Structure 1
Amino acid sequence: MSAVRSRLRLPFFVYGTLRPGEPNHDLFLRGRTRAEEPARLAGAVLYDGPGYPYAVEEPGGAVSGELVTAHDEAYDELLAVLDRLEECTAPGDPRNLYERVVREVVRTADGTAVRAWVYLAAPPVAARLRASGKLIEGGDWRARRP
């Protein structure tokens, strides 16, 4: 990631396996966060992936998740760990599964808009998903389960 983008110390919006109660939450976030709050990302939809979801920008859609604020002392390490987990090496890299971008999300409890890092499907992945992916109706990864 560029040095300027990496210096932004924003919270993270998580919507899949990093949500509380999901397997990657305990592996990557436990002990590194000071706040986790329900939130929604407007203008995106979710597609089912191989064990994890992809958010893809789509007008009119909305994705449910959590706004995660890291402890200051854990921030840089957490940012690097999440970039590796999400296979996000550099903006526009054709090997990326996700692109880390700044988007506005809304806290569910009070309706406050907050800028946050969001991992969206990288453009080639998003194009494949739009063409033949399985949409998760309602934009909630947890609700997809029977």
Structure 2
Amino acid sequence: MRPLHLVSRALACLVVLFGGAVPALCGVHLWRVKEIFSNPGGTIQFVEIATCCGSTTEVFLSGQALSSNSHSFTFPANASGSTLNKHLLLATSAFTTLPGAPTPDYIIPDNFFSTTADTISFSVYDTLVFA
């Protein structure tokens, strides 16, 4: 009976040591809509999203959507490298022709969002409403 008792204790210790350790998985939940801009005609627009809270591993963008009431953009790939203080710029093609404008990370269609009132959402994690 004594050897069985030792085996039970050893199994219990193994479960605690290896079964109780669950890795923390990061994803995309710390990206926030930081800034939006539109000219009156909606041909020059941008949406800037950025990570908050000091995370370095918010890389799983692939398949996530940035959407307005009328359009949606699905990220085609994951982010690479550290996401600490990372910013992504999504802009219309007319934005790219502005002198001195930064190069967008992604192109969105003209009038991606309404110039009068809209809701901009990044996945299920952040929403910006303006009227």
Q: The TM-score by the shorter chain falls in which range?
A: under 0.3
Query: Highest relative contact order (Cα 8 Å, sep 6+), 1 or 2?
Result: 1
Specify which structure has the higher proportion of helix: 1
Greater gyration radius: 2
Q: TM-score under structure 1 normalisation?
A: 0.26
TM-score w.r.t. length of structure 2: 0.28
